[in-house]
Structure 1
Amino acid sequence: MSEELQDEIEAINSIYGQGCLVPSSSEANVYVLSPPGESSSLRIEFPPTYPAVPPVVLGTNSTGEHGKRGDAARELSLFCQAVSTVYQPGAVCLFDAIEELTRLLESEVPKETQHEDTSHEDDADPQLSAKSPADSKQISMQEPPWIMSDPFVELKSTFVARCAKVSSTEEAEAFLQHLLSTDKKVRTATHNITAWRIKGPNNTIFQDCNDDGETAAGGRVLHLMQLMDLWNVMVVVTRWYGGHKLGPRRFALINQTARDAFVKAGLVSENPSKKKGSGKS
C-alpha cells in the first residue's frame, strides 16, 4: 500500500466515520466504500501505482435494507461519473469523489426529500440539531451581515471565514443556523468552526466556541478573539478538506483566515509590517 493511499484511508475514515472505507475481506487491493448517507456500498480497487493511475470502481457491494431497487445502479453510475470528473494523475481523489457524488445525488432529489435529508444531518451533528417551528422562523430571517475573508488554500484544503456583529447568544446561534440551512456548500464542508464573544446586560459576558470535529480549533479561534479584545462578534471558519493532512499548520491557517475576516470587517487593523496571505503558503 502506498503512503498516499494509507493517508487517504485514514483521512476518509476520520472525516466520515470509521468503517467508511475498509479493505475487502476477499480481494486484494479492493476496498469497500460506504458513502455517507447512501444506501449502497461500492467496491473500489486501488492499483499499486495509485494515485498515478485512477482507482477502479468494480461495482456495488451491498444495499441497505431501506434501499430501493435501482438505487444501487444509479449511485454506482454517479460515483463513476464523480471519479472521472475529479481525478487528476498523481493526486488522491476519493474525498473529492465522495463530495461530487453527494452533489450529484442532491441535484437529482426533489425538494421535499432534500428537506428530509437535511433533518437527518441535523440529528448527526450538534450544530445541526433539529429545529422547532420557532427556530425555523429564525432561519428564515434576513441574511446575516456576514463579512467574508479571502479564501486560503494549502494542499487543496480551503479555508474561508465569515464574521458578523451580534448582540446576544440567541442571535449568534440564529446566524449560524441560517448559514448552515441556506448554504449547501458550507453545510457539507468538513468543518465549520465557530466562536463568539458577547457582552450582555449588567456586565454579563458570554463566550463560546465549537470545534465541529477539528479538535481544539474552536478554542484557538476564541483565544485569538480574546487577544484582539473583540466583543459582540462571532466568526465561522469553514474548512473543505483537500485530501492531505496539514498537521499543526491547520491551526495557523484557521486563525489566519479568521483574522482576515476581522480585518475586512474593520474590527482590527491590518499589520503593515506583515504581508497578507496570498492564499497559498
Structure 2
Amino acid sequence: MSEELRDEVEAINSIYGDGCLVPSNDENIYILKPPSESASLRIEFPPTYPAVPPVVLGTNSTGEHGKRGDAARELSFFCEALSSVYEPGAVCLFDTIEELTRLLESSATEDTDPHDAVPEEEEEATDVVPRNRSAAEAHASNIPEPPWVLSDLFIELKSTFVARCAPVSSTEEAEAFVQHLLSTDKKVRTATHNITAWRIKGPNNTTFQDCDDDGETAAGGRLLHLMQLMDLWNVMVIVTRWYGGHKLGPRRFALINQTARDAFVKAGLVSENTNKKKASGKT
C-alpha cells in the first residue's frame, strides 16, 4: 500500500467513521460504504494510484434497507462523481464522496413528486421549530447551500484538517453559513473543532471581522491574522479538525492556517507560489 493510499484510508475513516473504507480479501481492492447510502462499492486502487485513478469494480452489497434500483443508481452517480473530480497525482476519494452526496441530493430534489407536497395551509400550520433545535439552526438549514470552496485534506499524526471558504457580504450571512454547515453536515458537526474567521467591508467604510476558536484556544485569532496579512475581505473560512489521538502541539496552528490558505488559493483569492501539502501529508 502506498503512503498516499494509507493516509487517505485513515482520513476517510476519521471523517466518515470507521468502516467507511476497508480492505477486502483481494490485494488493492477496498470496500467503500459512502455515508448515508444503502449500497457499498468495490474499489480497486492500482499500485500507481494516485497517478492513475481508482477502478470501480461494481456493487459489493445493496444493504438490507436498500430499495430496488438504489444500488445501480448510486453506482452510476459514484462513477460520474469520480470522473468529474479526479486529477492525476491527487488522491480523490474525499472529493468524490462529497460530489456523490451532492448528486444524490440533487437527484432526490428532482425526483420529488409535487403531489406529495404538504398543502399550503397544512404546511403553514406545521411550520414550527422542532424540539431541541434552535430557530437559527432551523432557518439556516432552509437557506441555499453556501458556495463553499474546499481545501485539500491535510493529515498529520492521524489528525485531519479541511477548510471551507465562501464570499460573504454581512455578518448575518456569515453566521447563517456557519449554522447551515453545522445543521446539514453531521460529520462536520461532530468534528473536534470548527474554527471560523471572517472579514467584511460594510457601507460607509465600516468593517467587521470576527473569529471563533471552537475550543482550540487562540486558533481563531491566528486564522483571522492570516486573513489580515493576506488582505482578504468579504470572505469567511471554516477550518474543521478531526483529532487523530496524537497531540500536535504548536504545529496544529500552522496546519490550520495552511489548510485555510489552500482554500483561499482554490477560490482564486491569492496566487499559489509555494508548494502545497497534499492529503498524503508530504510537502
Shift of 1:193: 2.4
CA distance in 2 between partners of 1:39 and 1:65 (Å) = 8
CA distance in 1 between partners of 2:64 and 2:40 (Å) = 12
> Matched residue of 1:12: which SS?
helix
Match of 2:165 among 160, 163, 184: 160
Contact 2:197 2:236 in 1 (8 A): yes
TM-aligned CA distance change 1:67 to 1:249, over 3 Å: same
Stretches (4+) displaced over 3 A: 129-143, 151-159, 161-167, 171-176, 178-182, 222-226, 246-249, 253-257, 276-281
CA distance in 1 between partners of 2:150 and 2:57 (Å) = 36
Tell me which residue corresponds to 2:179. 177
Tell me which residue corresponds to 2:127. none
CA distance in 2 between partners of 1:142 and 1:20 (Å) = 29
> Matched residue of 1:27: which SS?
coil
Tell me which residue corresponds to 2:28. 29
Tell me which residue corresponds to 1:278. 271
Contact 2:31 2:43 in 1 (8 A): yes
In the TM superposition, 1:37-56 aligns within 5 A as: 37-56=36-55
**Cα deviation 1:171-224 (Å, max 9, x = unaligned):** 997674256669x9xx89x9842379xxxxxxxxxx96426xxxx3x6411577
> Matched residue of 1:35: which SS?
coil
Contact 2:152 2:259 in 1 (8 A): no
Tell me which residue corresponds to 1:9. 9
Tell me which residue corresponds to 2:20. 20
TM-aligned CA distance change 1:181 to 1:33, over 3 Å: same
Tell me which residue corresponds to 1:88. 87
Contact 2:219 2:253 in 1 (8 A): no
CA distance in 2 between partners of 1:136 and 1:7 (Å) = 34
> Matched residue of 1:22: which SS?
strand
TM-aligned CA distance change 1:5 to 1:248, over 3 Å: farther
Where does the alignment leave 5 or more consecutive residues of structure 1 unmatched? Answer: 114-128, 197-206, 227-234, 258-275
Q: What amino acid is the match of 2:80?
A: Q
Aligned residue pair count: 216
The two structures have a TM-score, normalised by structure 1, of 0.56
> Matched residue of 2:53: which SS?
coil
> Matched residue of 1:47: which SS?
coil
CA distance in 2 between partners of 1:141 and 1:72 (Å) = 29
Tell me how large the CA RMSD over aligned residues is: 5.1
Q: What amino acid is the match of 1:5?
A: L
Tell me which residue corresponds to 2:100. 101
> Matched residue of 1:210: which SS?
coil
Where does the alignment leave 5 or more consecutive residues of structure 2 unmatched? Answer: 113-129, 155-161, 199-210, 226-234, 242-250, 263-268, 275-283
In the TM superposition, 1:68-83 aligns within 5 A as: 68-83=67-82
Q: What amino acid is the match of 1:250?
A: L
Q: What amino acid is the match of 1:102?
A: T
Q: What amino acid is the match of 2:74?
A: E
CA distance in 2 between partners of 1:133 and 1:166 (Å) = 19
TM-aligned CA distance change 1:5 to 1:130, over 3 Å: farther
Task: Tell whether 2:214 aligns with 1:210.
Answer: yes
TM-aligned CA distance change 1:39 to 1:55, over 3 Å: same
Contact 1:195 1:210 in 2 (8 A): no
Shift of 1:67: 1.2
Shift of 1:158: 5.5
